[in-house]
């Protein structure tokens, strides 16, 4: 009887993770290219601590404690003298602590703590002043702490605590003589980042605490083109970021964010002859988004405090002759948004407290020295911004 009872039951799995890194972690590569017919692919990734938890068709509990003290550095350089080919993709990523928790067709209970003291730097650069290119994607991402929560017809109860004390930098850009296709050059920097995604009738209840006490969080991208078809240069910097998106019965989020870092986002692009060219920069001290797109229930309790160094955002575009060019700069101290809907009715319970105690500035500059069809400049600066929406269809 005892044997039969034991073999007929599936006990929840238990995960325990403790990671400490104190050394410098570096990933660097350089590609020298004369001519590539199909394109260039390069990826450089540096991380202090990484871990992943997954339950699939089962239940589990996870406890994780990650501490990084060493500097994290990732650097990618692509030198091209002839052609980058039809399609190129260059990515550079540096993260102090990274964790991914997944619940598929099961339930996961999780308690995760991430603490980062080391600087995280990601640099990505394309040097092709005499070369031609088709489609180009060059992306650079740096974060002190990053947590992913994923559900597929699953449920999750999670407590996530993030503390970043190291400076974060994502920079670089591209110099290309001629872009025949679409070029997107983007940099993203975050002191602390949490992404929650639920699909196929999932449910989640999470409590998140994010503290960013670094001196600075910076994203900067600079591009220069001789002749370009469609180009975008983008920089996004945030002290603390939470992005929670679910499709299911319930999304319950309690978010506490405190930022004291100087946050800077800068995107500058120039193209002598241009088809469509856009420079976009977005900087925010604290950002929280919670949305239940295909379910009736959203509970959101949000507290944000932005203090210390302030938020500065710069976007600029310079060209001589072309069609559509513009620059868009957005700076926000604290930002929160909540959304709930289903086919018949939606229900939301939201409590929000925001306090911005520092300067917030946005600057947009557009200069076309000869002629253009449509030229647009936008600069938006806001201390606190909150948006809540419930729709029945």
pLDDT tens track for 145-200: 999 999 999 999 999 999 999 999 999 999 999 999 999 999 999 999 999 999 99
What's the rounded mean pLDDT across residues 292-314? 92
The three-point CA angle 334-337-340 to 5° equals 165
End-to-end CA distance of the chain: 54
pLDDT tens track for 103-121: 999 999 999 999 999 999 9
Q: Does the pLDDT at position 361 exceed 70?
A: yes
Whether the Cβ atoms of residue 251 and residue 292 lie closer than 8 Å to each other:
yes
Q: What is the pLDDT of residue 355?
A: 98
Q: Whole-angstrom Cα distance, residue 9 to residue 266?
A: 56
Q: What is the pLDDT of residue 294?
A: 77
pLDDT, averaged across the chain: 94
The count of C-alpha atoms lying within 13 angstroms of the C-alpha of 377, restricted to the half-sphere facing its C-beta, is 13
pLDDT tens track for 36-57: 889 999 999 999 999 999 999 9
Verdict on whether the full-model pTM lies above 0.85: yes
What's the rounded mean pLDDT across residues 78-96? 97
Distant-in-sequence, close-in-space partners of 347: CB < 8 Å, separation ≥ 6: 296, 297, 298, 340, 390
- Helix, strand, or coil here: 39? coil
Distant-in-sequence, close-in-space partners of 5: CB < 8 Å, separation ≥ 6: none
pLDDT tens track for 186-240: 999 999 999 999 999 999 999 999 999 999 999 999 999 999 999 999 999 999 9
Q: Taking the CB of residue 378, how many other CB atoms lie within 10 A of it?
A: 14
Q: Does the pLDDT at position 309 exceed 90?
A: yes
Q: What is the pLDDT of residue 2?
A: 28
Tokens of 310: 């302030």
Q: Does the pLDDT at position 343 exceed 90?
A: no
Q: Does the pLDDT at position 17 exceed 80?
A: yes
The three-point CA angle 359-310-330 to 5° equals 80
Q: What is the pLDDT of residue 345?
A: 61
Q: What is the pLDDT of residue 347?
A: 83
Portion of the chain with pLDDT greater than 70, in percent: 95
DSSP string, 206-273: EEEEEEE--SEEEEEEEEEEEEEEEEEEEEEEEEEEEEEEE-SSEEEEEEEEEE-SEEEEEEEEEEEE
What's the rounded mean pLDDT across residues 15-38? 95
Q: Whole-angstrom Cα distance, residue 121 to residue 142?
A: 6
Q: What is the pLDDT of residue 368?
A: 97
């Amino acid at each position: 009887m005892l044997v039969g009872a034991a073999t007929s039951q599936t006990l929840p799995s238990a995960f325990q993770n403790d990671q400490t890194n104190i050394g410098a972690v570096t990933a660097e590569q350089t590609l020298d290219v004369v001519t590539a017919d199909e394109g260039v692919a390069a990826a450089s990734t540096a991380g202090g601590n990484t871990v992943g938890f997954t339950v699939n068709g089962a239940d589990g509990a996870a406890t994780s404690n990650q501490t990084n003290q060493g500097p994290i550095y990732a650097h990618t350089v692509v030198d091209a003298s002839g052609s980058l080919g039809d399609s190129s993709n260059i990515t550079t990523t540096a993260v102090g602590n990274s964790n991914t928790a997944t619940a598929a067709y099961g339930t996961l209970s999780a308690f995760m703590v991430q603490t980062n003291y080391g600087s995280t730097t990601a640099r990505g650069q394309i040097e092709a002043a005499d070369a031609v290119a088709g489609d180009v994607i060059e992306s650079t991402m740096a974060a002190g702490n990053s947590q992913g929560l994923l559900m597929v017809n699953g449920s999750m109860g999670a407590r996530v605590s993030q503390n970043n004390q190291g400076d974060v930098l994502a920079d670089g850009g591209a110099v290309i003589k001629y872009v025949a296709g679409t070029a997107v050059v983007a940099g993203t920097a975050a002191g602390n980042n949490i992404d929650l995604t639920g699909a196929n009738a999932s449910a989640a209840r999470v409590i998140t605490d994010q503290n960013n006490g670094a001196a600075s969080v910076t994203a900067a991208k600079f591009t220069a083109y001789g002749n370009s078809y469609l180009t975008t240069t983008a920089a996004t910097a945030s002290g603390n970021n939470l992005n929670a998106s679910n499709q299911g019965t319930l999304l319950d989020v309690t978010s506490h964010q405190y930022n004291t870092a100087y946050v800077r986002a800068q995107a500058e692009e120039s193209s002598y002859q241009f088809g469509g060219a856009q420079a976009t920069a977005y900087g925010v001290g604290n950002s929280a988004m919670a949305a239940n797109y295909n379910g009736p229930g959203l509970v959101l309790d949000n507290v944000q405090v932005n203090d210390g160094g302030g938020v500065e955002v710069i976007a600029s575009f310079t060209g001589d002759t072309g069609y559509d060019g513009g620059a868009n700069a957005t700076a926000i101290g604290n930002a929160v948004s909540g959304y709930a809907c289903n086919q018949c009715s939606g229900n939301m319970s939201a409590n929000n407290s925001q306090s911005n105690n520092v300067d917030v500035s946005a600057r947009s500059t557009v200069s076309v020295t000869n002629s253009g069809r449509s030229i647009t400049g936008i600069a938006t600066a806001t201390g606190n911004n909150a948006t809540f929406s419930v729709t029945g269809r």
